[in-house]
Structure 1
Amino acid sequence: MTKELLIALGLPIAYLVVTTAFLAGRHQHLPRFVQRLTARDALLWNSLLGITIAVAAIRWALGR
């Protein structure tokens, strides 16, 4: 039970942390499409991440 929950919630969070660290650690300019995203409000990004985590949790709960 906890193994599945860890996978369902841990993978999206780990993906977010790894990609953020990768992009922040680069000492080069960000790609053009990422620069356009950073110019906008973070509400869209945070909402999509929250929805991804919520869907993973619901999918896990319904699969039980």
Structure 2
Amino acid sequence: MTKELLIALGLPIAYLVISTAVLAGRHRQLPRFVQRLTARDALLWNSVVGLTIAVAAIQWALRR
């Protein structure tokens, strides 16, 4: 049970943290599609990430 919860919640969070660290650690200019995302409101980005985590948690709960 704990293993499934770790996979359902941990993978999306780990992906978000790792990709943010890789993009923030670059000393070069960000790719064009990332620059377009940074020009927009963070509310949309945060909502999509939260929705992804919530869907993963619901799927885990329903399969249990």
TM-score by structure 1 length?
Answer: 0.98
Aligned-pair distance for 1:47?
0.3
- Identify unmatched segments of 5+ residues in structure 2: none
Note the aligned Cα RMSD (angstroms): 0.4
Moved over 3 A (4+): none
TM-score by structure 2 length?
Answer: 0.98
Identity over aligned residues, as a percent? 84
Deviations 1:14-37 (A, max 9, x none): 000000000000000001111011
- Identify unmatched segments of 5+ residues in structure 1: none
2: distance between equivalents of 1:13 and 1:33? 21
1: distance between equivalents of 2:58 and 2:50? 12
Paired residues, what number? 64
Aligned ranges 1:2-41 → 2 under 5 Å = 2-41=2-41
